[in-house]
Amino acid sequence: MNASPDGLGGIAFSNVTKRFVTPTGAAMTAVRDINLVVEPGQFCAVVGPTGCGKSTTLTMAAGLDSPSAGTVRVSGKQVDGITKGASFVFQADALLPWKPVIDNVALGPSFRGVPKKKARAKARDWLQTVGLTGFEDHYPHQLSGGMRKRVSLAAALINEPTILLMDEPFSALDVQTRAIMSNELLQLWEKTRPSVLFVTHDLEEAIALADKVVVITAGPGTVKAEFDIDLPRPRGAVQDIRFNTRFLELYQQIWQALREEVEQAYARSARIETRKEGAA
């Protein structure tokens, strides 16, 4: 494996700061001096308290947003406009409700000019891969949350991305479905091996899935610590790996780093709450 972040699929944030101007005109810093490297083919999970700017890093890697300072490089090229070779899985489904499942999956190829028939054949293959054969002509609203997630995964992977950006993709699912989807994601990832930047607030999920877990501080977010996850691959069922002693050790270690940030973020939101109540 090519270890340089400039290889195909590598992601490198150097000194990235992102500021927003809120609708009221006040400036606000979402992330500050982020330095983060994802090697080609690496599965990197980003954990941090709510509102620390985790999602902002993803949108910058996708090219939907540009940094206020610093640079984001993907596959050795500075991100400028939509990143080539990237796919994004959103927290909420980004499926088009007016297109049947097969056409939703075929969107990527057909946007890139692949003839409709060929794009559909490819979509059919991907639906089979995610276990949804027979649901080609259903509309998204006719599927359960887990099935919709699978469609989203197929739609993201059909473009054969070199980087896969995932923004709390399973947080809207129930616990059992979530575990099954995590297993499926790992299997798909091991087949095609894109680099993954996976944002979550669930530390267990992060450790079970990733090669590397990055802890982000309470907003404005910056990298607090990085942990290499040396659990063997293939990992097997994520439900079982939680009882592995190495898993528990890693969990303890990372939780130490994460706890302070979560508490700080909570204290801050609690202060805002009491201030609001005081004002009211």
Partner 1 sequence: MSADAIDHGASARKPDAQVPVQLASDEKTLAAAAQARAEKRRQLVLAGQVGVFIFIVAGWQAAAMTGVLDPFFFGSPLGIVIRLWDWMLNGTAYGSFWTQIGITLEESILGFVAGVLSGVVVGVLLGEISYLAEVMGPYIKIINALPRIVLGSIFVMWLGLGLPSKVLLAAVLVFFVVFFNAFQGVRSVDRNLISNARILGASRLQVVEHVVLPSALSWIIASLHVALGFSIIGAIVGEFLGAEQGLGLVIATAQNTFDANGVFGAMLVIGLIALSAEWVMAMFEKRLLAWQPDQSRENTVQGL
Question: According to CB under 8 A, which one of 50, 187, 192, 269 is a site residue for partner 1?
Answer: 187
Where is 14: in which H helix or E strand? strand 11-21
The binding track of 101-140 with respect to partner 1, each residue x by CB under 8 A or -, is: ------xx--xx----------------xxx---x--xx-
| For partner 1, the closer CB: 31 or 155 | 155
Sign of CA dihedral 233, 250, 35, 81: positive
| For partner 1, the closer CB: 9 or 218 | 9
Per CB under 8 A, which of residues 7..66 are in contact with partner 1?
59, 62-64
Per CB under 8 A, which of residues 77..96 are in contact with partner 1?
82-83, 86-88, 90, 92, 94, 96
d(CA 31, CA 192): 31
Answer whether 182's CB lies under 8 Å from 205's CB: yes
The strand order across the sheet containing 11-21 reads 27-38, 11-21, 69-74, 77-78
Largest CA distance in the chain: 62
Q: Based on the shown chain and the rule CB under 8 A, indicate whether residue 209 belongs to the binding site for partner 1.
A: no
Alpha carbon 277 to its chain centroid, in Å, reads 35
Binding site for partner 1 (CB under 8 A): 59, 62-64, 82-83, 86-88, 90, 92, 94, 96-100, 107-108, 111-112, 129-131, 135, 138-139, 141-144, 146-147, 150, 155, 159, 177, 180, 183-184, 187
